[in-house]
Amino acid sequence: MDEFSPSDLKTILHSKPTNFYSLQRCRLLVDSGRDILRRQDENDWHSGQLIHLLASMAALFHDVGKASDAFQRRLTGQLEGRNLYRHEWTSLRILEAFVGDDDDDGWLTRLQRDDDDTEAALNEGLGWLARLQCDGQDPGINTQPFKRLPPLAAAIGWLVVSHHRLPALPVYTDDGRQQKRVGARAILNGASVPSLPEAIKAAWNERLDPHTPDEIKPYWSFSKGLPMSSQPWRVRAARLARQLQSLKCAQPPLGMPYVMHLARLSLMLADHHYSSLTTSGRLTGKWSNTLFANTAYIQGRRQMNQPLDEHLVGVTRGAGEIVHRLPDILMALPRIARHKGFKARSKIARFRWQDKAFDLATGLREKSRAQGFFGINMASTGCGKTIANGRIAYALNDPEQGARFSIALGLRTLTLQTGQVYRERLGLESDDLAIRVGGSAVRALFEHQQWSRAQPSLKKPQMAARLSDFGGSESRGELLDEQSHVHFDGQLEAHPVLSRMLVNPQARALITAPVLISTIDHLMPATESLRGGHQIAPMLRLMSSDLILDEPDDFALEDLSALTRLVYWAALLGSRVILSSATLPPALVRGLFDAYRAGRAEYQQHRGLPGAPVEPICAWFDEYGCTHKACVDGAQFDIAHQAFVLQRIRHLAEQPVLRQGYCVPLTSASPKPEAVCSALVETLLPEMFQLHQAHHSQDPGTQKSVSFGLIRMANIEPLVRLAKALYQSEIPQGWQLHLCVYHSQLPLILRSRLEAQLDQVLDRRDPEAVFALPEIRERLNGPAEHHVFIVLGSPVTEVGRDHDYDWAIVEPSSMRSIVQLAGRIRRHRLTPVSSPNIALLDTNVRHLQRKTPAFSRPGFESDGWPLNTHRLSQLLPDDTLAAIDARPRLLPNEPLNPTTQLVDLEHARLQALMVEEASPAQQPSRRKRRSTMPIVPLGAYLFFRPVSMSLSAMAIQHAPFRWDPTQQDEWVLLPDEDETDYVFCRVDRADDGEHFTPVEHEVTRLSDHVITHPRIKPWNEPDYLTALAAQADAMELSLAQCAKRFGRVRLTRDYAPNGWCFHPALGFVRRE
């Protein structure tokens, strides 16, 4: 095969964009001789020249507003405080003034002239600068610059104004007098969504407050001139103008999200990189010594760094080079190729469906490359979905080039478990796999516990040494979290795009690892970040790898819009997408398909075979089989998906029943919390004993009956109240309860040790193994014949843990939570049951306390979507409880009855949110005043319909990811000087590090008598210092070091106005 010489490469990399993007069948070489840019069957980068020219021209203008007197004074320290108008808005206004009333041909022609009137405009206040629209200063100005800009100028202007952060809809206080922070939450009405980009004003870029004319004047004064007078700037501008003028654009660039956002990415990356340079790597030349772009610490003191004209030309050169090299970024990144673990055939019958899935994906490889791929893995729990997803992603890629994929999960614990599975079962080493969970302490504890279980015979010195290798030491834990030990194959530093990112270790890990397993939060900034710099790394990751979304239906309804944006973005950037869950509702899948298809349509407009129909390859997998179809639209997809689901439901109906349910009546004479709690205790105890009798096992050594049960409560306060009441209850002679309280408001070390304990005890793959555990053996000593181990837990028990219980009692919130929790009953033991093992309380605490809506927080009920009754016996069909499995989630009833059926409410809400053409009649009408505008709800598709929505932060403001209006405080429990007790402190962060502020007055310590009962023993750690000392000893840390790292907990600020109560066995709960 022909290869280019080094001189050929030099010519290519410094060639004009027109020549570069017409190159076909080229191969890039690195010094090692390994091919990085290989021959292509066809050149599929159709819009590369347009992206290059837009990014480059925007780079020339992006910081011209820094020439204002206000900005120059700020650099010298003469002006402090918040900007009244940001420099990028001033830059946009300068561009607008230069364009004037010309069309694109007119202003581009003027930009090429040598007789530019910039000097006259500055000196005499004449010429084009006289058209400058000075916000806040001239009352009669045009406040909306995009209304008058022609298409190319508008595209360049948007890149200029958005290169630091997206324009955001201004939000005001209730009285309308003051603007909130830029990007504040904004509930949009579909009847009045602003048109973009025309609606963008100065307030979209920075908060506007009243100021005097003298305070505003420096922002529109340019006493030191403009960088546009610089000869290097003018030469570069003239060349780019000629190229833009000769380019024929079929449609306005602002209507092409692929073009605009890759141009923005290139501009932001070039700006970030060039701004960081102080000496080497900078352009040489005769630059201005009056206007500067930035400052830097040089030889220990802050001083002026880059002249403004140098900065503009330097960023322009960098942006062009980045766009030139975006096409070959894929081949410059490490990949997994010829990996036996992914290709190996399954030896266990239960996993052989994976081989069929692998074969189907292999057969779809070329079609998926040309048409895109939207996969759905619905295999049941325990069938190996986790590994199958990776095998499918591997098979879709060329085996010689290798695969790159990302697995995104919602929970840290699931992320760490998935990473462990890929390491152990596929033999992936740290040079192939990066794990990102966003918390080094969480990961350090997890890996310490895994290693402790794997090597129980190691003595402490050996343990400490092995922990250092494995990731348990303090310094190592931080390194794992920050870099994930990614192996950097190839000469990535030589790549002009990647080398600009490799200086940041977090970005380096995220981008380069062939397999990335992370919480979804690490990829969400691609669509969720207002600040552009945060988008760069996740965008490059999505561009260069396929995406697997694990358990997407576990996300709250409020987060599905953000999930939809991520799928759209992945498709827009060319990724294949796989959804993995056994309980995927059809409306969710359809909505994500619509997003994928919309993104793929944009991608194919600029990449691949021109004019090819947009029909992504869709594939369905489960343990019973697999199928595929190219779907041209949502209707065709619905037909194919329903056919697969019906087949799956038939198979599920034939399976032995592992989980049966029944309703338990629950009433309270009073709505007071104490009365409701008493009613719960009176109801739960008999059910608990009955379930134990029906589903216990016998200890082989003592013949005592033992069962492990879960009591699921919807909220923490009633849960802790119930725990305290159980400790005060009457327990019959001969019974011993072992009670563990499990929720999110436990200090990290206590929660982590509890989870490690439960992971070991509730691994029931070998039903007899639990009786060999020393802790269980010790607890079985004594006269009691019946031992009931109970986890009293919040919704954290439903997902993220591979636990197997004998039975459960459930306070209901939604059908989704019931199905999720049922998956934890007999999870590892697949033998059928002959009697019910799940007791469902007929209603919940909120209903008994007369709070509305009752099935809410958590749950799908809301003021706009009310249920007619809150009795489960009326909300669930009888056959639903005969065998509790995923079937109600997979296929909705027709028609839906969202006010009378719990599962119909979920399907109706998902349809209204996710499916654009869902019937409005399915959604309850909202009351409105006669004078107000009708309320038109907006669905998750808001981000890509119309495509212009991605030009602002409006969709993010309307439905932000993991939005929480409350503020969180981080607390830490530190040992006192004598290390005989601990003190409560709030963690306050400042420039000089963390400070620990005592908050003892905000906490009531519950005494041990609240957990003292002759027939109930705490099953989790009842003593914080004991747990802390054991952890510190195992990891060879001081007690204070261990506490500062692992003794933390996050609590909602202002949630407990009367303070908190705490006991190590109960956690934190709001003081009444």
Q: Which of 274-278, 437-441, 870-874 has the highest mean pLDDT?
A: 870-874
646 and 684 belong to one structural domain? no
722 and 737 belong to one structural domain? yes
Alpha-carbon distance of 571 to 578, in angstroms, equals: 11
Give the pLDDT score at 473.
Answer: 25
pLDDT tens by residue, 736-769? 999 999 999 999 999 999 999 999 999 999 999 9
Q: What is the mean pLDDT of residues 989-999?
A: 91
The CATH number covering residue 839 comes to 3.40.50
Give the pLDDT score at 950.
Answer: 95
719 and 850 belong to one structural domain? yes
> Is 6 a member of any domain?
no
pLDDT at 991 > cutoff 90: no
Give the pLDDT score at 298.
Answer: 85
Which of 885, 912, 929 terminates a domain? The answer is 885
> Could you count the other beta carbons within 10 Å of the beta carbon of residue 581?
22
Give the pLDDT score at 754.
Answer: 96
pLDDT at 471 > cutoff 70: no
pLDDT tens by residue, 205-230? 999 999 999 999 999 999 999 999 89
Weakest mean pLDDT among 72-81, 362-371, 432-441: 432-441
Give the pLDDT score at 28.
Answer: 36
pLDDT at 926 > cutoff 60: no
313 and 371 belong to one structural domain? no
Nearest C-alpha neighbor of 812 from the set 910, 881, 912, 729: 881
677 and 814 belong to one structural domain? yes
Q: What is the mean pLDDT of residues 658-687?
A: 97
Q: What is the mean pLDDT of residues 439-445?
A: 79
Which of 834, 867, 885 terminates a domain? The answer is 885
Give the pLDDT score at 275.
Answer: 94
Residue with tokens 């589903």: 695
Q: Which of 141-155, 428-442, 528-542 has the highest mean pLDDT?
A: 141-155
Alpha-carbon distance of 209 to 84, in angstroms, equals: 8
Q: How confident is the model at residue 532 (pLDDT cuts 50, 70, 90)?
A: confident
> Could you count the other beta carbons within 10 Å of the beta carbon of residue 249?
17
Q: Which residue has the higher pLDDT, 13 or 1063?
A: 1063
649 and 679 belong to one structural domain? no
Beta strand pairing call for 661-664 and 838-841: parallel
231 and 362 belong to one structural domain? no
Mean pLDDT over the full length of the chain: 88
552 and 586 belong to one structural domain? yes
> Is 101 a member of any domain?
yes
pLDDT at 479 > cutoff 50: no
End-to-end CA distance of the chain: 77
Q: What is the mean pLDDT of residues 157-161?
A: 99
pLDDT at 468 > cutoff 60: no
Residue 160's SS3 state is helix
Tell me the CB-side half-sphere exposure of residue 1023, using CA atoms within 13 A: 8
Residue 509's SS3 state is helix
> Is 758 a member of any domain?
yes
What percent of the residues of the chain are helix, what percent strand, and what percent coil, each to the nearest 5?
45, 15, 40
Alpha helices in 471-611 (DSSP H): 474-483, 498-501, 505-512, 525-528, 536-544, 560-572, 586-606
142 and 247 belong to one structural domain? yes
> Is 681 a member of any domain?
yes
> Is 415 a member of any domain?
no
761 and 630 belong to one structural domain? no
pLDDT at 48 > cutoff 90: yes
Looking at residue 746, the DSSP 8-state letter turns out to be S
Give the pLDDT score at 385.
Answer: 94
> Is 172 a member of any domain?
no
80 and 220 belong to one structural domain? yes
pLDDT at 489 > cutoff 50: no
Query: Which residues are CB-neighbours of 97 under 8 A, at least 6 positions away?
Result: 128, 129, 130, 131, 132, 133
Q: What is the mean pLDDT of residues 941-961?
A: 93
pLDDT tens by residue, 825-855? 999 999 999 999 999 999 999 999 999 999 9
Which of 829, 862, 885 terminates a domain? The answer is 885
268 and 372 belong to one structural domain? no
pLDDT tens by residue, 190-210? 888 999 999 999 999 999 999
The two three-digit tokens of residue 61, written as one number: 């203008």
pLDDT tens by residue, 589-643? 999 999 999 999 999 999 988 789 999 999 999 999 999 999 999 999 999 999 9
Give the pLDDT score at 211.
Answer: 92
Q: How confident is the model at residue 918 (pLDDT cuts 50, 70, 90)?
A: confident
> Is 687 a member of any domain?
yes
Helix axes 673-695, 716-727, angle to 10 degrees: 70
Q: How confident is the model at residue 922 (pLDDT cuts 50, 70, 90)?
A: very low
Stated length of the chain: 1072
pLDDT at 457 > cutoff 60: no
Alpha-carbon distance of 425 to 342, in angstroms, equals: 10
pLDDT at 89 > cutoff 90: yes
Nearest C-alpha neighbor of 945 from the set 630, 606, 602: 602
% of residues, the chain, pLDDT over 70: 89
Q: How confident is the model at residue 7 (pLDDT cuts 50, 70, 90)?
A: very low
Query: Domain of 210?
Result: 47-165+205-330
Give the pLDDT score at 363.
Answer: 98
> Is 990 a member of any domain?
yes
* Number of compact structural domains in the chain: 4
Give the pLDDT score at 752.
Answer: 93
Q: How confident is the model at residue 440 (pLDDT cuts 50, 70, 90)?
A: confident
